[in-house]
Amino acid sequence: MNRKEKKPDKIIRAGGREFQLYKYRDEYDGKYILNYPDFHENPKYTDEGRPFVMAIQESCEYLEPTDPEYPDPGDCSGCVWCRMETPMDAICVCMCESRKRTETGADEKGGLSCGE
């Protein structure tokens, strides 16, 4: 059965898009794990030009922590710019204006994802 016929193992909705995730067998321990998108390698944007990011990826220079008593959460999930459809989602949309894609089709950081 090919991927088009296989039912996704998980679906995450974010920024008006649907990400269908499939499991694969890890070559090191043999366990099945979800194959999440690699937004560093293949950046994706909302229709408004906002970049999709993994909530657990390293926070970038535009970090504004959600908790002022915890100024460096270390990942995007602890940033005010990270918008998730539902709490604890793995994929979020970065709402930071500095990371928004420009009219020319490239973001101001040359297409790099948060944390690079």
Give per-residue pLDDT as tens, 79-110: 999 999 988 899 999 999 999 987 655 544 44
Task: Kindly report the number of other CB atoms within 10 A of residue 56's CB atom.
Answer: 12
Average pLDDT over every residue of 54-66: 92
Q: What pTM did the predictor assign? A: 0.77
What values do phi and psi take at 78, rounded to 5?
A: -95, 15
Query: Max alpha carbon distance in the chain (Å)?
Result: 50
Distance, first Cα to last Cα, the chain: 37
User: 112 pLDDT exceeds 50?
Assistant: no
- Inter-residue contact 114 to 57 (CB < 8 Å): yes
